[in-house]
Amino acid sequence: MAAEPRRIHPAMYIAGVVVILLGVYAQYVLNIGTVGSFLLAYGLPLAVVRALWWDGIAGNALRNNTSALRYGLAYYGIFTAIGIIGSLAVVYALTALDPSAVGLLQQPNPVLNVPPDVALVMVFVSILVVGPAEEVLFRGFVFGGLVSLTGGRHWVAMAFASSVLFAMAHLYYALVYGIASAVPFVELVAFAMAMAAAFHFSGGNLLVPAMIHGVYDASGFIGVAVSLDVGTALRIGMLILGLIFAVTFSRQGKFPTGDQGTSPSTHV
């Protein structure tokens, strides 16, 4: 039986979100090195979240792994496709309104602009640290907390709100790409929606979203450490696999709908 965590207090939720965003943004301002930046962006927020509402996150984080994997891949495929379509629409709009803005996207991705040997290390860091940490913070606490505060109602709206916060945490895209950062912003929101759906419909599982997130991030670094073709092929493979799961679920009528789901944060 799934655990029934206590409801999070609104003040605790706001405090946690503020610490998460401040920790992420502070690393752009403070020159404290790579290790210091990781501790500030992930270590401090994780410690605060653990103190505030750990029972609401950890109790079901490893449950229902099979359903989480199915939902995670299926929704990854669906929302990645939506994100691609949305980003192309944004590019089209930018081309019509300000053609010079599209040229900003030719600048190197600030995260992936590292030497191959560093990128190879980041492949493992993405899978072992970044993916798990960001899923605990943004799906477990930010999204799970919103669902808890609303009693499980309107989870899609809560997923979207938390996904926007997730995208806002990636401020460096705005600093590099300016108005053209709307393109990766759409993709980030779409990715976060997929992970939120997997979390919700699996009853709060975080293991699978962390794995998908980690592999997704790692594929970008593989493109630097090995070759762009290999990294791109990995992401395309993930998309195809996800769409296969989505089509299979759709034909079998196994997709949950509406507020159906077993997120632990919906328990009163």
Annotated domain spans of the chain? 64-256
CA distance to 17, 87, 99, 108, per residue, from 180 (Å): 26, 10, 10, 13
Under DSSP, the state recorded for 181 is G
pLDDT on residue 92: 95
Query: For residue 112, which phi and psi values (nearest 5 degrees)?
Result: -90, 0
CA distance to 43, 80, 196, 235, per residue, from 216 (Å): 21, 11, 15, 7
Under DSSP, the state recorded for 104 is G
Reported as a single tens digit per residue, the pLDDT across 205-264 is 999 999 999 999 999 999 999 999 999 999 999 999 999 999 998 888 777 655 555 566
Confirm if 172 and 111 have CB atoms less than 8 A apart.
yes
Confirm if 266 and 147 have CB atoms less than 8 A apart.
yes
pTM above 0.75, yes or no: yes
Q: CA-to-CA distance for 68 and 36, rounded, in angstroms?
A: 33
pLDDT on residue 102: 86
- Nearest Cα residue to 132 out of 7, 37, 42: 42
pLDDT on residue 65: 95
pLDDT on residue 267: 40
Reported as a single tens digit per residue, the pLDDT across 93-146 is 999 988 888 888 888 888 899 999 999 999 999 999 999 999 999 999 999 999
Model confidence at 33: pLDDT above 80:
yes
Mean pLDDT of 180-186: 95
Model confidence at 72: pLDDT above 60:
yes
Percent of the chain at pLDDT > 90 equals 77
Confirm if 37 and 155 have CB atoms less than 8 A apart.
no
Reported as a single tens digit per residue, the pLDDT across 15-24 is 999 999 999 9
Which are the contacts of 242, defined by CB distance < 8 A and separation ≥ 6?
73, 74, 75, 76, 77, 78, 80
